[in-house]
Amino acid sequence: MSYTPKMKRAVRSRRKVYGQLLKHARRQPHRECCGILAGQDGLITQAFPAKNIAADPVRNYEIAPTEIVRLMEELRKRRLEFLGIYHSHPNWMDTNEPSPKDIALAHYSEAIYFIVTPRPYATAPIRAFSIRDRRAMELEIKILP
């Protein structure tokens, strides 16, 4: 498992989604929040918060399989593409880089993984990663209106 900081490509997100993710993380700064990212043509236009059912939500996140199925059905009804997953690293953590566990549990190789920090003065409060073959590569986030 490894993390490569080089940015080779960019992911596009609507400004409102960026704001939603920050609000979600800041509402529960001591626990990991999580959800699904969706949109069209590679542009993230919506975030769908999910309940974190992890046994230790202070250190991990897990979305129930039944909730993933429900959310995927919602995307299909709205004609949206599944683009990624987001979760937060609580404010006691030093970084919003993917942890070894984040990398090991990244089962959707085509997904974009957003990691949010609830820290109000973070230089990069949201970071995006492509995680494939147990390697994480950071992606630039382009915020669009």
Q: Which amino acid is at 65?
A: P
> Is the Cβ–Cβ distance between 139 and 4 less than 8 Å?
no
Cα separation of the two ends of the chain: 35
Identify the pLDDT of residue 93.
80
Per DSSP, 116 falls in state E
Please state, as a whole number, how many other Cβ atoms lie within 10 Å of the Cβ of residue 118.
23
Is pLDDT above 90 for 32? yes
**Over 80: is that where the pLDDT of 19 sits?**
yes
* pLDDT band (50, 70, 90) for residue 91: confident
CA dist., res. 130 & res. 138, Å (int): 6
Domain with 15, as residue range(s), is: 2-144
CA 60, 112, 122, 50 torsion-angle sign: negative
Q: Where are the alpha helices (DSSP H) in the chain?
A: 15-27, 65-78, 100-104
Task: Give the pLDDT score at 111.
Answer: 97
Residue 41 to residues 8, 14, 17, 114, Cα–Cα distance (Å)? 19, 13, 16, 18
Q: How many domains is the chain partitioned into structurally? A: 1
Cα separation, 29 vs 125, in Å, equals: 13
Predicted pLDDT of residue 1? 55
Q: Residue 113's domain is classified under what CATH number? A: 3.40.140.10
Structural contact between residues 44 and 11, judged by C-beta atoms closer than 8 angstroms = yes
